[in-house]
Structure 1
Amino acid sequence: MRRLGLVAVAALLLASCGTGGDGESLTFVSYGKGAYQDGQQKAFLEPYQKETGVKVVLDGPSDNAKLRAMVEAGRVTWDVVDTDAFLAREHCGTLLEKIDVGPLKDSFPAGTLSDCGVPAAFFGLVLMYNEKTYGADPPTGLADFFDPGKFPGKRVVYAKDPSTGQLEAALLADGVPVDRLYPLDMDRALRTYGRIRGDLTLAQTYGQQQQVMVDNQADMALIVSARAYSTLKAGGTQWKRVPAKVPVTWDVFVVPKGSQRKEKAQELIKYASGPEQGAKFAELSGAGAANTRAAAGLNDLQRQIDVLSPERAADTVFIDADWWTGNYTRVVQAWTTWQTG
């Protein structure tokens, strides 16, 4: 669970040594080795270090509980952290520093920039189907994912965290208009998933979901776009995208409260948020660039799962991050109870 609450790690932090640098270095925290972090490193971390002479040290994985423990212990060693948009809204000014992006403030999709969180990357929950299963009669919309009569077969979703669009997808499939999604009707969403309960694989990691797809152990999937790209790269080219509504979520850059290098941290965030850096990051990672002026040169596989292209704008449904911030814990409890009940 990405949310806060595991403050027991504070004891480990208090035992750690060092304060994280001498003022000419920055510690950047992401999710660990993989296309996403590699894309960050090559698109903006290494160029920033070369252009400014400020050393950028990678740490991770990103962990909200560890961030909180650092701040509460007064031993902040992280300077820029890639995390979920909800943390930035819920703990702005307490766990996190406010960030001034200056002229970049109008460079992101409406409603995605907050006082303490600058959009880092966008992810769409795309519907995909196995061409080996459905051949010339494929599913055509979200409703088909939840219709085992019309489209029999195994389904797979990432079940660990419901805030990446799984519930929105179910409600859209059940006929809820986009402008009436919130507040989310949890009972209705779970009833919709109940239709396919016997055919549903609840993957506990993205890696598990990808493997299920590559190994043809599923026939349809709701999968985050960056992971869909990884699936295609791993040889799962039998998987095709369905042109359907796409719930879109995003990560943000934040600066932990008490960072001794918060001014330089903001400089790095502004550099990383430029259109050129965003385009390069999208090309390398398969995630969507945060800056709306970024013109990424996507390859064929990336174009298949691109969720931010202008021609697909009508299908893009940005989640309500403010609603999720106030309801995350309650929703996760309901989602988890449904899985185990």
Structure 2
Amino acid sequence: MSHPSLSRRILFGLLAAPALLPGRGSAETLPEVTSIPDSLKGSGEIRVATFGGTMQEVQKRAYFEPFEKLSGIRVRDFAGSDITKIKAMVETGNVEWDLAQVSRGSVMNLQKRGDYFEKIDYDIIDAGVPAAFRFEYGLEMLVWAQVLAYRTDAFRGAVPKGWADFWDTKKFPGDRALLGAGSGNQPELEFALMAAGVPPEQVYPMDLDKAFASYTKIKRDVVKWWETGAVPVQLLTDREVVMTSVWNGRMAALQQAGVPAAVSWSQGLLKRDCWAIPKGSRNRAQAMKFIAYSTMAIPQARLSMLIPYGSVNDGANEYLSPARQEVLPSAPAIRSQLLTYNYDWWVENRDAVTARFNRWLLT
């Protein structure tokens, strides 16, 4: 019998509880920001586009709701952040979002084609945010990993530990899912190469012929090329696949709901999301104030306590227990197993790779 789908009632029940540590049965109280500088206060509203799902519900509790109370600026959050929508909004002059959760690569790639984002005002950003997370048209706001997830009841105790195991359909039989190239995503060529035996440190620059030859070996076993983060966890929950790539934070609610599933960190991709302000935002100043607030130490720690994504503020660790830090992708023991995603390579090669991937899917 398949496990029931994750309902919003289950999700809200998890979020209403104290911050839970997956697999540890303990809870922690979220730290509070009691006051903010006058420079971050204001009026009016901001319209924030997120990636939806568990992440959006966590963001409400971590920093949307506290910011609204402390600043006097209303936060209206929307699911479905999409770089192609931002491009259309800016080009038509109908900018519906003041702020969007996107990736550095998406911002850099779109800026190659025109002027689509406002510059970040770093004068008001907390000093605890290292230079590595800062760039002209965006500020990275969380660290996450794209990893292998599997049903623990599928392989009679055997545990897949990397992409060669994902590709091994004899040892680990069953349907799979992988990320496709729709909705601004990039196909997971890195995983295809590591499955073919390429060491992580030699993945970039990527050998496209070798990557697509590897993809061809697994193609018939991939029943879904997913585009949004909710899909792979639902596929696991409903037993439609036994293994899939997944955004690590999406697994927290699934595991807390009792679905027999786990993450294999080995050979995952270390990635980062950023805040970016679409060019022509009607509430640019308010959006900048929110960016500054959300990347302060305590709001960053609150997010990491609610969902296993790493912080971009060095001061956040002061508020995170050692046990919590151990399950974040930024933790040394996990970070050492991950390959850092090369945004620069993808900015230069994204269009050609996406076109080739779409042609390959049709063959």
Q: TM-score range by the shorter chain?
A: 0.7 to 0.9
| From 22, 25, 38, the counterpart of 2:57 | 38
Say yes or no: does 1:253 pair with 2:275: yes
Unaligned runs of 5+ in 1: 1-22
Measure the CA separation in 2 of the matches of 1:338 and 1:317: 25
**Alpha-carbon deviations, 1:129-151, whole Å to 9, x = none?**
32222233322332111122343
Q: 1:210 aligns with which of 210, 227, 233?
A: 233
Query: Quick one: distance in 1 between partners of 2:144 and 2:90?
Result: 28
Residue equivalent to 1:275 = 297
Match of 1:266 in 2: 288
1:151 alignment counterpart? 172
Q: Distance in 2 between matches of 1:128 and 1:109?
A: 32
Do residues 123 (structure 1) and 144 (structure 2) align? yes
Distance 1:202 1:292, change over 3 A: farther
1:129-186 per-residue CA deviation (whole Å, 9 max, x = no partner) reads 3222223332233211112234333322233459567221221232323333222222
How many residues align? The count is 316
| Counterparts in 2 of 1:180 and 1:293: CA distance versus 1, 3 Å | farther
Identity %: 27
Counterpart residue type for residue 121 of structure 1: L
2:247 equivalent in structure 1: 224
Give SS of 2:266's match: coil
**Cα drift, residue 267 of structure 1:** 1.7
Counterparts of 1:169 and 1:292, CA distance in 2: 30
Equivalent-residue separation in structure 1 for 2:253 and 2:181 (angstroms): 19
Q: Letter of the 1:280 partner, please give it.
A: R
Unaligned runs of 5+ in 2: 1-41
**What CA distance in whole angstroms lies between the structure 2 residues aligned with 1:241 and 1:315?**
12
Q: Residue in 2 aligned with 1:53?
A: 72
Give the C-alpha shift of residue 119 in structure 1.
Answer: 1.0
Shift of 1:255: 1.2
Which residue, out of 325, 328, 340, partners 2:350?
328
2:97 maps to what in 1?
78
SS at match of 1:223: strand
Deviations 1:276-308 (A, max 9, x none): 1112122334433333442375899x8896322
AA in 1 matched with 2:157: A
1:126, 1:305 within 8 Å by CA — same for their partners in 2?
no
TM-score by length of 2: 0.76
- Kept in 2: contact 1:43–1:281 (CA 8 A): yes
